[in-house]
Structure 1
Amino acid sequence: EGDRFYVRQTTGGWILWKDEKNEFSLTASWMPLHFDPDDNDDPQMKHLDERKASAFLGGAYYRHENWGSLKVAVSGDAMDESGGVVGEISYFRPLRMERLTLTPSVGIFYSDESYNDYYYEVSGSESRRSGLNEYAAGDSWTPYVGLAAKYQLTQNLFLNASAVYTVLPDDVKNSPMIDRDDSFALMTGLSWRF
């Protein structure tokens, strides 16, 4: 992370404007969500079409206060895999303890109908091939809670870890492709401060 550029989880940003309390950046994100029917053990799911991961371009605004920070972000599918638009509204508060920083967060993700249909729809032809019920998804709001940890190893090198728990909305969990009501993601990595 630097004065003009940053990498936060799977998003890179170019800070266009920043003052003591406000920050606006252009963003590029890698959305790793994908589906490969060849990797699935379910015989019905093997007859579905592949869904690919994609890159998203957009913008993010942060408002920093003593009580924490607010984030509003929106981005669109730059590779046109889904043609979708996603967004996020969140609150987070970094808690600094010498070399360790813990950042709890709470927020909500938005996914439009095009995004959800690409990843969770079962088309008529897929239904006929697989025997799964035909399904079309609408747009959705997905609430989440998270916790990120950053530990300073050297002056510029940091060890990062984050965990996010989400409650799946009806338009996602009602898809025949999904067999759960929630999800949990854990990411780890290293970052360098420029």
Structure 2
Amino acid sequence: MIIKKNLLIAAALFSTSSAMADEFSLGAGAVFNESPYKGYNENTSAVPLISYEGDHFYVRQTAAGWIVWKDSKNEISLTAAWMPLHFDPDDNDDHAMKQLDERKASVFLGGAYYRHEHWGSLKFAVGADAMDESGGVVGELSYFHPLRMERLTLTPSVGVFYYDESFNDYYYGVSGSESRRSGLNEYAAGDSWSPYIGLSAKYQLTQSLFVNASAVYTVLPDDVKNSPMVDRDDSFVLMTGMSWRF
């Protein structure tokens, strides 16, 4: 099963639609993802949908946070997020890609700041690789604005992710030994900014049952798309599912 970093963005969009204090929801869904790596076809995978919003703690799919300060417009939290991006050469169909080393998923620890206004919300976040797989640092600046109707909530969003040199080189670089084994050119990736746009939807079927959907389109930066491991200029992910609010 291949789950790429866009899943992290799409999952986060599910949690931006009308979160309330002490709200817990659990469900299941499916994600369709176009991998940027060569040798991977489009993948559809089952995923759990988990969300909890409390006064001091939250779980927003692949991220958890401890709120250290909050008022009507601001929220500062310490965060732990699962970065599902990984590469398994055994799952790849390309002969050269099968000769490369595995890239593993990791946990990133950091912090997040939200600013809520009538025109929408801003998010600033940063995290560092706590498992030292890449040793990298990632950051995010994003804007989202829930549009609430009677049963439907639409949340358009736009943002940019920052990935430092260590992160990109681990996931997209090709070492000298890998180059000799695979025939791919040796490649060292630098840091990058990756913009994205997204849209999520939540529709209330009953008092407790919801249908969820989100789509995210990402433009791959030069330091990623110039990698010999990559054969795309962009990436797309679609997630759908159902959840039950307790």
TM surpasses 0.5: yes
Q: Choose from 29, 47, 53 the match for 2:99.
A: 47
Q: Which amino acid aligns with 1:79?
A: M
Once the two structures are TM-superposed, the CA of residue 153 in structure 1 deviates from its matched residue by: 4.7
Q: Given the two structures, how large is their TM-score scaled by the length of structure 2?
A: 0.74
1:162 equivalent in structure 2: 214
Q: Percent identity?
A: 85
Residues 2, 193 of structure 1: 8 Å contact kept: no
Cα 1:122–1:109 change in 2 (3 A) is same
Q: Confirm whether residue 124 of structure 1 aligns to residue 200 of structure 2.
A: no
2:204 equivalent in structure 1: 152
Q: Deviations over 1:125-176 (max 9, x none)?
A: 0000000000000000001001112233555554433211100000000000
Q: Which amino acid aligns with 1:152?
A: Q
Q: Confirm whether residue 175 of structure 1 aligns to residue 227 of structure 2.
A: yes
Q: Deviations over 1:71-113 (max 9, x none)?
A: 0000011111111100000111000012221110001000000
2:40 equivalent in structure 1: none
Q: Choose from 28, 47, 65 the match for 2:80.
A: 28
2:136 equivalent in structure 1: 84
Q: Compare relative contact order (CA 8 Å, sep 6+) and give the higher one, 1 or 2.
A: 2
**3-state DSSP class of the match of 1:115?**
helix
Cα 1:155–1:56 change in 2 (3 A) is farther
List aligned pairs for 1:89-108, cutoff 5 A: 89-108=141-160
Tell me whether 147-156 or 120-129 shows the greater mean CA deviation: 147-156
Tell me whether 6-15 or 124-133 shows the greater mean CA deviation: 6-15
Cα 1:141–1:134 change in 2 (3 A) is same
Q: Confirm whether residue 16 of structure 1 aligns to residue 68 of structure 2.
A: yes
Once the two structures are TM-superposed, the CA of residue 8 in structure 1 deviates from its matched residue by: 2.5
Q: Unmatched 5+ residue regions in structure 2?
A: 1-52
1:135 equivalent in structure 2: 187
Q: Which amino acid aligns with 1:141?
A: W
Once the two structures are TM-superposed, the CA of residue 186 in structure 1 deviates from its matched residue by: 2.2
Q: Given the two structures, how large is their TM-score scaled by the length of structure 1?
A: 0.93
Cα 1:164–1:191 change in 2 (3 A) is same
Give the root-mean-square deviation of aligned CA atoms.
1.7
* Alignment partners' CA distance in 1, 2:109 and 2:206: 32
* Alignment partners' CA distance in 2, 1:123 and 1:68: 43
